[in-house]
Amino acid sequence: DIQMTQSPSSLSASVGDRVTITCRASQGISNFLAWYQQKPGKVPKLLIYGASILQSGVPSRFSGSGSGTDFTLTISSLQAEDVATYYCQKYNSAPWTFGQGTKVEI
């Protein structure tokens, strides 16, 4: 199975900071990469798919990029409501696998 590795595992930043999370696939997955946000005590929420396409309703401060094996999720100006764990997920083929998560704190 293709393994998804995220870095860092956690980070702390200030409101207004630019935050970048990296996800690396053990094999190329083209752009079949999604990002999910899971706030404390809540369920995962689809943020981005196709590596860079924002799901409807997602604030424009979120962006994604990458192709092949290396991907990034960027929050251009961190807000208090962005405190969450972020997961990448590959969906080029089953089994769909997730990264281990990156916890973002203020």
Partner 1 sequence: QVQLQESGPGLVKPSETLSLTCSVSGGSISSYYWSWIRQSPGKGLEWIGYIYYSGATNYNPSLKSRVTISVDTSKREITLKLNSMTAADTGVYYCARDSGKTYPLLGLLDVWGKGTTVIVSS
CB of 48 to partner 1, least distance (A): 10
CB closer to partner 1, 8 vs 15: 8
CB of 93 to partner 1, least distance (A): 8
Question: Which residues form the interface with partner 1 (CB under 8 A)?
Answer: 1, 32, 34, 36, 43-46, 49-50, 55, 87, 89-92, 94-101
CB closer to partner 1, 32 vs 63: 32
**How many C-beta neighbours within 10 Å does residue 74 have?**
13
CB closer to partner 1, 66 vs 99: 99
Tokens of 22: 């990296």
Q: How far apart are CA 91 and CA 98, in angstroms?
A: 9
